[in-house]
Amino acid sequence: MALSKGDALPDFDFTIMGENGPEALSIKDLTKGATVALFSVPGAFTPTCSVSHLPGFVDKKDELKAKGVDKIACVSVNDVFVMDAWGKSAGVGSDVIMLADGNAEFAELTGTQLDGRAFGMGPRSKRYSMLIKDGKVVELNIEEGGEFKVSSAEYMLAQL
């Protein structure tokens, strides 16, 4: 299914690092009664993702929350241990929920999967951001090629 503006998100359980180790977090629980700024990156610790994309949402967290965003979440096709390590190295604390889509299943369910085999990365997710209100997609900003424009925190702020 190619996800579009106005669609309800498909049922899916991400993996997050909890206090006692890996645990599931359903998209339903993440978004129920909340406005969520969710962004996806092709890979943790990759250049644009680490230098611009994740830090942008951390830097703009107060502005996003002032405009009605309750939660900020980052998803990547990496395992939970990598996502946890990346979040710690980037100093996100509790500001950004780090969601692991280790098998690219959410990317496949939402039609945002990217074939990264030419770069030795296997199946990945396209770079995008989406604004979700109570489980429904309000804004969906998918990057083309290797760009980083419409998925940024700044772009999302302009949409709020």
Active site residue 74: no
Question: Of the listed 37, 49, 131, 137, which one is catalytic?
Answer: 49
Beta strand pairing call for 13-18 and 21-26? antiparallel
112, two tokens: 């945002």
The span from the CA of 27 to the CA of 135, in Å, is 8
The span from the CA of 156 to the CA of 141, in Å, is 8
Q: How many CB atoms lie within 10 A of CB 2?
A: 9
User: Which of the residues are catalytic?
Assistant: 49
